[in-house]
Each structure stands twice: as C-alpha cells, then as structure tokens.
Structure 1
Amino acid sequence: MRSNKTDAPAKRWPAWLFIAGIILFFMPAGLFAGRKHVNHISQRFSTESWFSTFTQRSSFLKNDPFSTIEHPIPKLMADAQENFKNKLARQSKTLEDAVVEYRRRYRREPPKGFGEWWQFAQEHDVKLVDEFDAIHEDLAPFWNMSAAEFRNRALEVGQLPSIDLVRVIDGRVESASVDTSSGEHGKRAFGFMSLLKKFEHTLPNMYFPVNAKAEGRILVPWEHRAFPNMTVHNSSGGMTTPDWKGKGSVWESYRRSCPPYTEARRLYSSYRNPNADNPRVFLGPAQAPQNELTFVTNVEDSFDYCSHPGAHVSQGHFFSDWRTIPVLYPVLSPAKAVGFLDIRIPSNYYLGMKKTYTYGFDAENEGHPKDVDDMEVPWEEKKDVIFWRGASTGGGSTPPGFAANYHRHR
C-alpha cells in the first residue's frame, strides 16, 4: 500500500510535463491573437481620439524570433496607388460629363469660361479634370463679397509688407509691385506669373496679391467672420513690418480665430505646454514618452487646435516670425494650415528644377539633370551612417524658447 501511494505521483509527473508543454506552446499564440484583437479594436475606435492612428509593434513580437513583422509602408504605398488609379478612372471624358460632375459635386454652375478651360486642359493632357475641392473651399468665404469689393481688397492688401502684386493688363501679365530686395526675391510672384503666361491673352484686367512667404498669412478673428457687417474690414493699420518685432505671434492670432466657447480662447489653456513636467492642466496630465516603436498611418489635416490648444507647441508654423493679417483679403499662398483663409496656388518650387533641391542639377542644362550628381560619392566608399546635413531653413522662433519641441512648419 505504501509503495502504491508513493508511486502514483511519479507516474503522473510526465502528464504534468505534457500539460505544461501545451500551455507554454499555446501561450505565445494566445498572446499574439489577443494582441491582434486589441489592435483591431483600437484601430476601430482610434478615430474618436484626437491623436492620429498609430501602428504599434509590441515588445512581444520584437523578442519572438519566429514572428513576422510587416512594415506598414508597403501597404500604405499600395493603397495610395490603388486609390489614385481609381480616381483617374473616374475622371470625366467629355465636357458634357465634366459639367454634370461639377454641378453634382459643388451644387452650382461651372464658372464662366469653363468650356475654354476644358479645351486647354485637354491640349495639355491634364489628368484630374474634376477635382476642384481646394479652390472651392478657399473661395467659399468670398462668395458673399461683391466683385468691386473683392477687387478693392486685392489692391489694398498689395500695399502690405511681404505681399507682392501681379496684374493682367490688356491680355499681358506683369508685376505691379514685387519686392525683389527681400530674401525671397519675389520668386513666388514670378512663379505665378509664369503659370499665367500660357493663357494671359484670355484673361481680363485683374490683380493678384501673392504671399511672398511660405506660411499662410490670413487669420480672421471669429467675431469678424461671424458678424462681418458689424466690424471694419480694414483693421491691418500699423502693419509696417513683415515680422512681429516682439509684438504678438501667430498663435495669439490663431486662437482669436477660434469660436469663443473653445479651449483656445481660455488664456491659460491656450498657452500651456502639455510636455512640461507634472503639468496641471484642464485635460489631465500629459502622457509619458513611450519606448514602443510607433508609425503614423494617417495624418489628420483637420486636427482641431481650437479644441486642443496644447498641441500647438509641436507645430512650427505657430511660431513663424512673419505677421499674419487679420482681414479677409484674397491673398494667394503656396500653403496654409487649417484655420487660415489664404487661397492656395501651386508652389514655385514645383515649376522647375532648383539647384538647392534637385539631384544632379546641371546649370548649363537646367531642364535635364545629370544622372550622377557632381557631389556624389561612389557606393563602395560610403559609410554605414546617416545624419542630417543642411540649414534649418524656414523655421521661426516667435515667441522664443519652443524650437526644441516643434516640427519644422514644412
């Protein structure tokens, strides 16, 4: 009897080893499946967060030699190519189709001269003939303005610093007032003129105010937009210099464009730094930095800085040195952030090759770069290192002290 009692556990020991082995075998699979389930749920509900969606690589996968880690970039590239291919396939093939599509999208008749534009687009092999979302959005604030008022404002803003004026007179485009002495040398105005040259003979007499800077300039206070008839539109008096000179900032102007009930209009909430140590803020403590590798899968260009003002410290365009204009003027700019009311035009940097930005730039034959740049180093002589080399162009520091936190505005 005694021997039976002592032998029983010994006989059951291999069974416990087997069960333990099963548990150890399925545990990684269970954790992996659970991780996928959590990621699936987080991706479904991540759009409700005011942060962009992230794809995270877990520490478990990093340490598991049998796991396969798929980098998100190839899929993002494939999805983008497929979406663009489908967009091309949907474009109108005839003028009649284009008119119908324009009416469907924008709930209005195409502008005068649409037929001539269609012919021009066909002759120059324009691919996206139905896409007017950007210009439709940018011109929306001006629809209630008369043509005479629009023209007067174009002339007025052309007198302000860092605003160049281009005009069309008797079918010929020319510079009315372009400052070539500044650092920009009027390049954006001259680039815009080169675009108009191709069809200048079809244009009536008109003026185009062109922003000489890279950043957006038009930031209209919320009160002026909500009650346009109760305010004097020309409130840009005293703007004699293009930079702030220590009096004001882009963020101060931006938060005034926010509705009065938003966090940005509350003084403390609009200026706090969410990355400060142990912050006491309205939205709770800031999230501690993470060691996990993350990858941004989408960038929300409609992020609401009025509701989340603390996030502005990470964006360089809020610290630009150049003054904004608090009046609804029709200013043409190469870029703008959400909340600005500039009218977007193609950047002059897309209109030709530049020595600073073009690999293999050939000064003697600017239209055809060299296959190998003069400063290129043979592959076998390169070192296995990577670093940033170049000037931090385009940055600002108004007010100073935040440059270490924000991305370059480009």
Structure 2
Amino acid sequence: MMQNRVLTPRHILWYYGPPRALRYDTTDAKRGSHPIDHLIKKARKAQDELMAKETHDLESTANAYRKRRGRHPPPGFDKWFEYAKSHNAIIVEDFFDQIYHDLNPFWGLPAKHTRQQAKQLPFKISVRNHTMQEFMDDKNWMKIWVGMVEELKDLLPDLDMPMNVMDEPRMIVPWEDIDKYVKAEHAARHQPPPQKVIQKLSPLDVDEDEGEKMKVEFIEEGQYWDTARVACAPDSPSRSVPGVFNSSGPPPYCTGKTEEKCNPDASVWLSYNGYVSNWTAVKDPCLQPELRDSHGSFIEPLSQSSTRSLIPLFGGSKLPMNNDILIPPAMYWAKESLYATGDTHGAEWEKKAPRVAWRGGATGGKHHKDNWTRFQRLRFISVMNGTQVRQAQANEKLEAPNFQLQPYQHYLGTAGQNMDLAGWLDAIADVGFVDLLCFPKNEDHSCPYLDPYFKLVKGIPLENMYNFKYLPDIDGNSFSGRYLTFLRSASLPIKATIYSEWHDSRLTPWLHFVPMHNSFVDVYGILKYFIGDVKITPEGVLKTTNGHDNEGKTLALAGQDWANKVLRNEDMLIYVMRLLLEFARICDDNRETLGFVGDLE
C-alpha cells in the first residue's frame, strides 16, 4: 500500500515540479477537531505565506523573477508590468509557475526547431508587426482565442501560436526526453551583466527557408493509459502498471491484496484522515494507478490523437503527464459561452438551499455496456442517489454496479454509522443527467445498459444552480467548463479533477474551494461536515443541524472574492501576455542573452 509513502518520484523534482505543490503539514492538528477544520486552518496559513510574496513595483517584481527563474525577465517585461498594474492585478511570481512548467522543456530544443514547428502547424494564431494574421477556423474555439490574443496585439512581438482545437490534450512526451530537456534548460540558466544583454527580439521571419517539413506521428488508437504512462517517472507508481482490459464491475478503491478491507486512507494517500491534503498529488495519474480503470479519460476517451514529440501546442487543459502549453480555455473567455452567467450569483448565502446541485451529460468518454461502471460522472450520480444507495445497502455484498458502499461509510463517523444514509441523500442531493450520451447513439436517447440505473432529469439553468449552497464539479471529456463560474458564484465548489488549468497556481484548496478525491470516497464526509444532519418539517422545509454552515459560507465568499481579484478577464490577458513574451524569447536564436535589464541600468 501507498498509505505512508512520501512524495519523491523524480518527475516532480524542484526544477520541473508542478506549480505550487499544495501539500499541508498535518503534524500539529488538535486532538478531537474535525480533519476539515485543520485543513482549512492550514490553507489560510498557506495563503498568507503566498501573499507575503506580492510585489508592487517593477524593480521588486523583476528581482522576484530572477530569484525564482534564474534568468533575466524577457524583453517587454516592463510593458507587461505596466499593463498588469494598470489593470489592478495582484502580482505574485508564484502565480506564473505554470508558464515555466510548460515552457522550460523547449529550452532543450534548438530555437529554430521550435520556431519553424510553430509556423508549420495548421491551427495557429499569428501576429506580425502588431497585426493579427488570417487563421484557419475550426468553427469551435479558434475565433474566441484569436479575439483574446487580439486584445494584446499592440503589446506583443511577432509570433506564431499553434492551438489544440480538440477537447483532449495532445502531447505525451516520454519522461526520459522531458528530463533531458529540462536538465538542459536548468544548466543554461544564467544572468549575464546588463551590458551584454540583448533587449530586442530578432525579426521572426529570419529563416531563408521554412526548414524541413515537420513530420509528427500521432497515436490515435489503443489504450490511452498505456500511451500516457510513458510520461510518468520511472520510479512512479503508475509507470510499470499496464492498462486494464476488463472494465466491468465497480472500480477498485485500494491497492494491495484483494482480500484486504478497503482503507480509504490507502486510496486517498497523502491525505489527512482521508481528506485531501495534497491537491497536486491527488490530481496526478502517475501517482495513482487506480485511475486507469476509474476515469473515462483512460478507459475509452471520446477521441485521442497524441504525439510523443515535443511540439509547441497551446490548449485549455491537460493531464499532469501531458506537455501541452496551457492558456485560459476559450469557454472561460467567451461572453456567450454555455457557462457564462455574467454577474448572476444567486441569492445570499442564508437564502440558498443547504443542498447539493449537479446537472450535465454523462460525458467522460465512450461508455458502453462493457465499461460504463468505471466512468466518473456515472459513479458520482450513483453515489449521490438515495435509491441506488438504498439498493446497495440491501445487497449483502454492499456493492452496486459501479461503486462500493463500504469506503463511503468510513467517513460518517461512529454516530453516522446508523444514520439513514439513503434518506439523507434524498433530502440534500438534487443531481442527475440531462443526457446519457449512449454509445452507440440511439435516436430516442434511450440507453439499454444505463436505463435501469439512471433516469433523465429536467435541466436547471446554470444561474439557478447558484441558489444551492454546494456545487460539485466533475471532469467530463476533459476539464469541466463550469468551474470558473462556480468560483465566481458565491456558492461553494466541490472539485474533483485530474486536469490542470492555467489558474491552478492561484487557487488554494480548502480556502477557495473544497478538493475531493476522484473516487468520491470522501464525498459523504465533506457533505456531512458542511450540511450536517437533516430533517424535513411538516411544511416541507429542510432543516439542518450539527453542520458547519458558517465555514461553508466563509469558503464560498472567499473563493468568490479571490476569483474576482485574480481570475478576471484582465488576469487571463496578463497571463497570456507573460506566456507569449516567454515563448517568443524561446523561439529566438539569441535567447541565451535576450532579456530585460532596464531596472538594473
């Protein structure tokens, strides 16, 4: 078992580590306090330590850059700082860690190689002399991303920015290659004297030829888990674990011998009493082999087209083992997105229903009669459904088709062992599918293998969901596009994901949102902590007792306030500008001596 394992795999060495690895020390918890109380306290401390790094002027900001990145800032850094300050941005160097996690490997390739690859890829955003160039439209996200970059065109150098227009991430470079590239980047770090620094980029179209036509092989079939695990470190738990070919029955929650009882602390390793204390590790499939048969991205994704070559490709989300370059997702930027609700936040906290709301489709990949029991959204709806839990409790094996009940009961405590769990769920949960997305698709939207377990429910407009206090957010085919609007809503997001996004370095779990394990083994404990016991009055009103409503309100409002400070459209542009200044330098033959040193002169 990995219950007491220390996080040491080589793929998260400090020079290539995930942005702000969020792990809380749990050594000084008070005896008798609830684990979530302790995690909230630690989150506040972590946030205070982060904000102590905030900088307010160009000199201190450039100095923080040099200290953290080992180089001079890129040309144009002064314009970037001016733009950020003019838009009242909170500037903390750690906020931009994702940029360097994504771009550092490209320092291990020749600048000309990356430059010419960027020019040859089909779906790209190009800027020349502060003018947007024509682009190939995929009729999906390209126009939105082009509009985002266009707002910055007067501040950007010439560049080519290839885009991933698929939902799924595309790059899976073997760990050994990335390790080599990142070591080369680290070895090349230096800060030459100001008089030797070149402060202006070379013209982008300097090549007399376009170079040899790029040939990139894409893997479009086979088990995605086996395709992806080559990007895990050799000593990581998942690297040597093959994919699963039998995906029937509920997914396993624990490692170890099959006859052992399931211990939630074994499946939620690096947790504190079963609750997530290391958000970075819990999201990482390289550290959790059980995700290979409990998440649709690995069981049978909707589509896949992956390359093991390191090419410059920008996209909205990725798995921790992917090498795509993250930018804000198009649906976060679009003013008319399915998930855009403007300034609508629902009622005040006290007037919101103390319940859980979720609506969506049964996305997550191609589920069918032989594998549906392993898909994350189907599992979540099942564990939150009082009828299915009641049936599982009546079964001597305590096993439903797609979840095991015993691990969840562990979180209810001694007093909760005899509670009417199914009745409690009936009272607090309003969750369900609006489309089962059956494969193969039936014209009448029926789904023979799911119909016995799931009944379609009426949709709830997103702005009406904000009248519920608790909003779970679960991965679909890739990341969930509703996360940002949940954070802005003044309801409390409860997040489970294996996907990374541009803003991950800016959010603190247990302060701005509630992290949840991808098995959902902790969901009852989370909801029991915040909602407590429930009773329906004769008038049909839901009354709650023994919960932590004040803590829920505090987190919900803290998340909203923070999102309105660091996840604004202006913050997305500030992030993209910084990213593209760095990418332009990487593509320049003079990159080793390029930099901004105006603050040193």
TM-score bucket (shorter structure): 0.5 to 0.7
Q: Separation in 2 of the partners of 1:387 and 1:205?
A: 46
Match of 1:119 among 70, 78, 82: 82
Q: Which residue of 1 aligns with 2:224?
A: 250
Residue pair 1:222, 1:256 contacting (<8 A) in 2 also: yes
Shift of 1:138: 0.8
Relative to 1, partners in 2 of residues 1:298 and 1:176: Cα closer, same or farther, differing over 3 Å?
A: same
Does 1:100 pair with 2:63? yes
Match of 2:136 among 164, 177, 183: 177
Shift of 1:404: 2.3
Q: Separation in 1 of the partners of 2:147 and 2:322?
A: 26
Query: RCO greater where, 1 or 2, for CA within 8 Å and sep 6 or more?
Result: 2
Higher Rg: 1
Shift of 1:129: 3.9
Match of 1:271 among 244, 252, 258: 244
Shift of 1:135: 0.7
Q: Separation in 1 of the partners of 2:346 and 2:355?
A: 24
Report the secondary structure of 1:213's partner residue: coil
Match of 1:109 among 68, 72, 80: 72
Shift of 1:405: 2.2
Does 1:340 pair with 2:314? no
Which amino acid is 1:169 matched to? R
Shift of 1:263: 6.7
Which amino acid is 2:228 matched to? Y
Shift of 1:53: 9.6
Unaligned runs of 5+ in 2: 9-21, 25-30, 182-211, 377-474, 480-601
Q: Separation in 1 of the partners of 2:239 and 2:138?
A: 36
Cα distance per residue 1:312-333 (max 9 Å; x no partner): 2223332423222221111112
Q: Separation in 1 of the partners of 2:309 and 2:150?
A: 30
Q: Separation in 2 of the partners of 1:258 and 1:80?
A: 28
Report the secondary structure of 2:103's partner residue: helix
Alignment of structure 1 residues 143-162 onto 2, 5 Å: 143-156=107-120, 158-159=121-122
Relative to 1, partners in 2 of residues 1:329 and 1:127: Cα closer, same or farther, differing over 3 Å?
A: same
Residue pair 2:229, 2:238 contacting (<8 A) in 1 also: yes
Residue pair 2:248, 2:371 contacting (<8 A) in 1 also: no
> TM-score, normalised to structure 1's length?
0.62
Cα distance per residue 1:210-266 (max 9 Å; x no partner): 1223332111234655789xxx99663477xxxx4xx32321211233466777565
Cα distance per residue 1:61-96 (max 9 Å; x no partner): xxxxxxx97554455445434432442232122211
Q: Separation in 2 of the partners of 1:49 and 1:130?
A: 24
Shift of 1:307: 6.6
Residue pair 2:218, 2:307 contacting (<8 A) in 1 also: no
Residue pair 1:167, 1:207 contacting (<8 A) in 2 also: yes
Report the secondary structure of 1:117's partner residue: helix
Residue pair 2:315, 2:326 contacting (<8 A) in 1 also: yes
Match of 1:357 among 327, 339, 343: 339
Match of 2:164 among 199, 203, 211: 211
CA-based RMSD: 4.4
Residue pair 1:53, 1:296 contacting (<8 A) in 2 also: no
Match of 1:142 among 106, 110, 117: 106
Which amino acid is 1:347 matched to? P
Q: Separation in 2 of the partners of 1:173 and 1:103?
A: 31
Q: Which residue of 2 aligns with 1:404?
A: 373
Match of 2:297 among 317, 324, 332: 317
Does 1:390 pair with 2:360? yes
Q: Which residue of 1 aligns with 2:154?
A: 201
Report the secondary structure of 1:153's partner residue: helix
Q: Which residue of 1 aligns with 2:275?
A: 296
Report the secondary structure of 2:143's partner residue: helix
Task: After superposing the two structures, state which structure 1 stretch, 254-263 or 200-209, moved more.
Answer: 254-263
Shift of 1:120: 1.0
Report the secondary structure of 1:116's partner residue: helix
Alignment of structure 1 residues 276-291 onto 2, 5 Å: 284-285=257-258, 287-289=260-262
Relative to 1, partners in 2 of residues 1:277 and 1:165: Cα closer, same or farther, differing over 3 Å?
A: closer
Q: Which residue of 2 aligns with 1:128?
A: 91
Q: Separation in 1 of the partners of 2:148 and 2:228?
A: 31
Alignment of structure 1 residues 28-67 onto 2, 5 Å: 46=4, 48=6
> TM-score, normalised to structure 2's length?
0.44
Shift of 1:342: 0.8
Residue pair 1:255, 1:270 contacting (<8 A) in 2 also: no
Shift of 1:345: 1.0
Q: Separation in 2 of the partners of 1:207 and 1:89?
A: 36
Relative to 1, partners in 2 of residues 1:194 and 1:298: Cα closer, same or farther, differing over 3 Å?
A: farther
Residue pair 1:263, 1:270 contacting (<8 A) in 2 also: no
Relative to 1, partners in 2 of residues 1:172 and 1:325: Cα closer, same or farther, differing over 3 Å?
A: same
Residue pair 1:72, 1:297 contacting (<8 A) in 2 also: no
Residue pair 1:210, 1:331 contacting (<8 A) in 2 also: yes
Report the secondary structure of 2:125's partner residue: strand
Shift of 1:400: 8.1
Q: Separation in 1 of the partners of 2:159 and 2:149?
A: 12
Percentage identity across paired residues of the two chains: 23
Q: Separation in 1 of the partners of 2:101 and 2:374?
A: 31
